[in-house]
Chains A and B, each alone.
Chain A
Amino acid sequence: MKAMNIVNAVNDALDIKLTEDKNVVVYGEDAGFEGGVFRVTEGLQKKHGVERVFDSPLAESGIAGTAVGMAAAGLRPVIEMQFCGFIYPAFNQIISHITRMHNRSRGNYKMSIVIRLPYGGGINALEHHSESMEAIFAHIPGLKVVVPSTPHDAKGLLISAIESDDPVLFLEPKRIYRAIKQEVSEEKFSVPIGKAKVLSQGTDVTVVAYGAMIREVQKAMVMAKEAGYSVELIDLRTIYPLDKETISASIKKTGRIVFVGEEPRSFGVGSEIMALANEEAFLHLEAPPKRVAAFDVIVPYPRGEHHYMITPDKIFYEIERTIKF
């Protein structure tokens, strides 16, 4: 075991896969020599060589599109998009090819591609550096969308993602890249894609969250505990495919559901959770399902971001309102 933060854990997973599988290559803007702007790939080029861990030209469509060719030829590229807000030039390659080539070729070409994507706000960044647009990607048939919230899950999920024969969008909550340290096994292990995790058992309300919001919910739960509420917290870990079984079982148990996300609220991941609650647990509900999510606006610049970010007290407020409904 070794104390790791999410940056260390992602680096460790890449290192393990680079070591055991010659088909794995890692590239992106600044991802090679420098180790990425967040230093996630630091040291990997030195250890595994410039042919396997490298800087690409500054072109997101090119990065994603070359991964299609590489995967068709049998490689397992792990590509980095520097920030969530920079992924849009690659969108055509993602929606037109990465997620379709398997279907289009009737299974002839597998797209074993991982797109690593630092996402989320709360870091006082420039425009285009704070977005949480996971719902856009979860909506695309052919893609799996994964978001760890802990170093352990970051490592295990990334290993699963690299080994997946389907393309995986691997969202990295950059706000908590270095915020949490955890003892993580240095051995290879995997966390399955498509399985949520019940982080805390509770009886009054189910809270579903993921990524950087888990920590905020946990802070709200301290307030909830003081107020005498028993909260069940589910970390989604995978957005698509959604672990409907775990979520609906929990809603049936508690009778209440609050979703917490930093995404724009409308048509989001939270909306899907609301639909799930209604479709799968309608007769068990004792309060209306509730979304706590960001405004449907562009993430404000740093001085306005405090108006925008989901805070523990806001989460507690909505938990209490739902329980008292």
Chain B
Amino acid sequence: MFDQFDPAEDKMLQVIDNNGIVISKELMPDLSDEEMVKLYKDMLFVRTLDFMIVSYQRQGRVYTYPPNIGQEAIGVAAGAVLRHEDWLVPAFREMGAWLAKGVTMKEIFMFNMGFEEGLKFTEANHVLPFSVPIASQLIHGAGIGYAIKYQKKDEVAMAFVGDGGTSEGDFHEALNFAGVWKVPVIFVIQNNQYAISVPVKMQTASTNLAVKSVAYGIRGLKVDGNDIFAMLAAFRYAHEYARKEQQAVLIEAVTYRKGAHTTSDDPTKYRTTDEEKEWDKKDPLRRMKFFLEKKKLWSDAEEERVTGEYKKEIDRQFIETEETVQYPLEDVLKYTYAEMPQDLRDQQIEHEKFLQWKNARK
């Protein structure tokens, strides 16, 4: 597959076209009808959840939020490939993968409501918390890869970054370490065309982003990130390769951030509606829906029913989270160190004395 889609020749792996018609039959991943429907439903769930969180943000019930809309296929395909024991090193826009790994909706809500508790990932195995400093998390992926190899475990790490992140030094250090150490890490670039307002052509003079793999002696693959079958095919192949060969892989998933960078951003300032409409045709859900409808596996009625159920459940859990979350003073202090220094205890005691005084004044 790596030779067939050599990024140096700027080839892109694609399985279905914009109308959901299979254009590369031999690359179509082996999936039952139920599995196909599940993939679609997973994407639909992410889109619904994402939409709901944006509306909660507009209502002032969560803080700044980075929407996933348009990029659902990548996270969902990653989630379908990652096993319980595999590692997920997220950036912050791969919700399908978080959910598949066991991050709960309530945790996602808590995080966006302003509680670190949402990053505890109590039911998820081997998921690092979301990373804000761009690309720095990729190096953690290389380190996890080293640990996997050293401990002789059958695990793979998958680490995410955006297109802007490929300009950071840490991107290069991560690929270089993983290349030199020969460790099972899949680096995934979600090339959604923009780093906030800066288009990808201003990030690099390279033909594409996957080709950067060549410099580090690892294999690379450019994939249509809005084609769930292509993403799944690429991830399955890369996962097998990383495990068997103990090698790192770089995957560029070409996609489009249909929404804003975060809820504080206004994309109309830096891109045209013509461009947005062009990408609407490549929307990952739209394409897969065409595909499923042709196979009589999906319908508008089904979509309406399922979306309604999702919304109801999401809202139920959101309200439950709103009603139960708390942030005691203790939580501010007790996690900075595994072993809390006495001085920090003293600072807490000092502050509690102030609080006693404050309460007594009431």
Q: How far is the CB of A82 from chain B (nearest CB, A)?
A: 16
10 A-B pairs with C-beta separation under 8 A? A61-B136, A65-B136, A65-B173, A66-B146, A69-B143, A69-B146, A75-B150, A77-B143, A104-B116, A108-B120
Known: A65-B173, A166-B337. A57 touches B133 (CB 8 A): no
Tell me which residues from 140 to 197 in chain B have a Cβ below 8 Å from any Cβ of chain A.
140-148, 150-151, 157, 169-170, 173-174, 176-177, 180
Main secondary structure of the interface of B (DSSP, over half): helix
Contacts of B344 in A (CB 8 A): 241
Count how many chain B residues have C-beta atoms less than 8 Å from C-beta atoms of the other chain.
44
Q: How far is the CB of A182 from chain B (nearest CB, A)?
A: 28
Q: How far is the CB of A98 from chain B (nearest CB, A)?
A: 10
With CB as the reference atom, state the residue of chain A lying closest to B122: A108
Does any Cβ of B come within 8 Å of A4's Cβ? no
- What's the A-B contact tally at a CB cutoff of 8 Å? 145
Contacts of B139 in A (CB 8 A): 61-62, 64-66, 68-69, 93
Tell me which residues from 94 to 147 in chain B have a Cβ below 8 Å from any Cβ of chain A.
116-117, 119-121, 128-129, 131-133, 136-147
**B339–A92 contact, CB under 8 A?**
no
Residues 64-84 of chain A, each 1 if its beta carbon lies under 8 Å from chain B, else 0: 111111111111010000000
Count how many chain A residues have C-beta atoms less than 8 Å from C-beta atoms of the other chain.
47
Does any Cβ of A come within 8 Å of B338's Cβ? yes
**B177–A66 contact, CB under 8 A?**
yes
Q: Give A105 to B169 CA distance when docked, in angstroms.
A: 25
Residues 216-244 of chain A, each 1 if its beta carbon lies under 8 Å from chain B, else 0: 00000000000000000000000011101
7 tightest Cβ-Cβ pairs between the two chains A and B: A69-B143, A65-B139, A66-B143, A73-B147, A241-B341, A165-B338, A62-B173
**A-B contact sample (4 more), CB < 8 A, given A57-B180, A66-B139, A69-B147:** A61-B136, A61-B173, A65-B173, A72-B147
With CB as the reference atom, state the residue of chain A lying closest to B159: A69
Q: Give A194 to B157 CA distance when docked, in angstroms.
A: 36
Does any Cβ of B come within 8 Å of A110's Cβ? yes
With CB as the reference atom, state the residue of chain B lying closest to A105: B129
Residues 320-350 of chain B, each 1 if its beta carbon lies under 8 Å from chain A, else 0: 0000000000000001111101111000000
